[in-house]
Structure formats: C-alpha cells, structure tokens
Amino acid sequence: MSSRDQRSDDKIPCPTCGNRFRMDETQAPPFCSQRCQLIDLGRWLDEDIGLPHCEDESPKTIDRNLVDGDGS
Ligand SMILES: [Zn+2]
C-alpha cells in the first residue's frame, strides 16, 4: 500500500520547518538542512534541563506537612 507512495514521491517533510525536501538532497537527514538539525537538537537539550527542576519541588511540599502534623 505505502510502497507505491514512496516511489511516486521521494520528498518528506522536515520535522523542524515542515519544508518538503528530497532525502538525496539533504546533508543532515531527516532534516532539510544542517540548520534545522541544530534547531531540533537545541529543543531537546532545553527540555532535558527543564524536567529535573519540576521533580525537585515535590518532596519539599510533603516534608512540610509531616513536620506540621507532628507538632500538635
Ligand atoms: Zn527544515
């Protein structure tokens, strides 16, 4: 089914900019250019740093409740 599609259209959409290009023409697959590859890499690094911060805040809230209840 899909094999017929790949033959007639070699172009694929770039994950970063959405521009359609041929795999043969790009120097940084599956992106249309090296610039788009760097942009996508930057996004991943940004998310990686943001995650640990959120988890760090949860334990502190629980610790507060435990100390407060034990006092009375
Ligand atoms: Zn692109």
**What is the 41 CA–ligand 1 centroid distance (Å)?**
13
User: What integer pLDDT is reported at residue 64 of this predicted model?
Assistant: 64
- Residue 3 Cα to ligand 1 middle (Å): 24
Q: What is the pLDDT of residue 58?
A: 58
Alpha carbon of 51 to ligand 1 centroid (Å)? 26
pLDDT digits (tens, 9 = 90+) for 17-64: 999 999 999 999 999 999 999 999 998 888 776 555 555 555 565 566
| Threshold 0.75, pTM exceeds | no
Helix and strand totals (H; E) in the chain? 2, 2
Amino acid occupying residue 71: G
User: How many other C-beta atoms can be found within 10 angstroms of the C-beta atom of residue 2?
Assistant: 5
* C-alpha of residue 26 to centroid of ligand 1, in Å: 10
From CA 64, how far away is CA 57, in angstroms rounded? 12
Domains, the chain, ordered by start = 1-47 (3.30.50.10)
**What is the predicted pLDDT for the residue at 46?**
80
Residues 6+ apart with CB under 8 A from 31: 14, 15, 16, 37, 40
Dihedral, CA of residue 56, residue 57, residue 60 and residue 64, to nearest 10: -170
